[in-house]
Amino acid sequence: MSSIARHMPVTATKGACGSIGAVRILFVSESFLPHMNGVTNSVLRVADHFAATGDDLGIIAPQWPGAQKHLRTSCGRRVRVHRVASAPMPGYADVRIATTSATTLRRRIDDFQPDVIHLASPMILGGRAVIAAQKAGVPTVAVYQTDIPGYTARYGMPFLESASWQLLRDVHNRATVNLAPSLATRDEMREHGIERVDLWRRGVDTSLFTPSLHSSQLRAQYARPEEKLVVYMGRLAAEKQVSDLKVIHDMPGVRLLIVGDGPEKEALRRAMPRARFAGFRSGTDLAAHLASADLFIHPGEHETFGQSLQEAMASGLPVIAPRRGGPVDLISPSRTGWLYTPGMLDEMRDRASDLLFDDAKRRAFGRAATDSVRKRTWPVLAEQLRGYYLQAIEQSQRVGAAH
């Protein structure tokens, strides 16, 4: 899932902090700063909102060399980040695998005394945390965000897909409430035996991602005046299938702009020598790169939501993605963009040509895309999440009263 997230403090909610103590929320995040991905970004956004509305917050995350132990939110509050032992994942050092025990996590939970625990994309760390939470009698809300089973095939380990689903099933079925980011992902979770699954999508910062940041000067750095500019934004990793964009790279009159970084960068440079590589971008610089392009394409087939698609839509771009997972919810075909059959790259290219060489159609799609995400702000989505927290707390109290 995932987008190039902003290195914050975040700005989802502005203004003075509210009164302290409404709900005590402990986030247990499988990944966190300084590694920026969709999981980290979601935690930062909702934590920023809850800090501003007066909730008490704590965060448990994997240790990282030089990682900060506090997060300063946009309203000036400092949130403690408890770092737990971890080791780099073999072959992808940017991902840390927590090695701490459930017993240690139980002590952290007892120290903080949360009303609810938010498990962000739980797998190893989240799996131990949900066991510790059960023993402590604390309700949990588990947010499914990363298609680990799908990733195993991309990394040459398809034999681990079944085992990954078994692990996810064990983790999520211990949680009080489970949240899926899209209808397709919700259905897939249910098909694999995960229970108590509701829907919780993601917000988009429409004050940051906006068509008004279009820059002719920035655009001229990447494309000639007669060229159309197609942008991809996200991690440059195998599961994102960025190499599929070679069919766009080879289109006459089209320039491909790749925004992001990751282990596949040099291989992609060799495969697509005409492409422009902007590297990691953040904040208004990132938003301007999106707004200055003509079309956004994300070829990854394992997106549980598609945050980068949503940010591109807010920036005024029509979007194209495979007809699988989160993009199916986000894209309205023939109105805000196009979906193509996974693996059918000729279809992707034809859909791109349909929009790139019809200026009126492309602009109409872009306007519709922006309108479609205008109300999906992080404060709105965070308050929906609060409702799930309260639901989990009430369920836990009912179970406790029954015993």
Q: Which DSSP string corresponds to 229-253?
A: EEEEES--SGGGTGGGGHHHHTSTT
Angle between helices 283-291 and 307-314 (to 10 degrees): 70
Radius of gyration for the chain, computed over Cα atoms and rounded to the nearest angstrom: 21
In sequence order, what E strands does 48-136 have? 56-62, 70-72, 78-84, 86-89, 92-98, 116-120
pLDDT tens figures, 47-58:
999 999 999 999
How much of the chain, in percent, has pLDDT values that exceed 70?
94
Residue 11 in this model has a pLDDT that exceeds 60: no
How far apart are the C-alpha atoms of 359 and 244, rounded to whole Å? 24
Give the pLDDT of residue 403. Answer: 65
pTM score, whole prediction: 0.89
**What's the pLDDT tens digit per position in 314-365?**
999 999 999 999 999 999 999 999 999 999 999 999 999 999 999 999 999 9
* Pick from 89-98, 101-110, 112-121, 215-224: least confident: 89-98
Round to whole Å and give the CA distance between 62 and 180. Answer: 23
pLDDT tens digits along 148-204: 888 877 777 878 899 999 999 999 999 999 999 999 999 999 999 999 999 999 999
Could you tell me the pLDDT band of residue 66, with boundaries at 50, 70 and 90? confident
- Asked if residue 272 has pLDDT above 90, the reply is yes
With 70 as the cut, is the pLDDT of residue 1 above it?
no
Burial of 18 (0-12, 13-18, 19+ CB in 10 A): middle
Identify the sign of the CA torsion 272, 275, 281, 287: negative
E strand or H helix that includes residue 197: strand 197-199
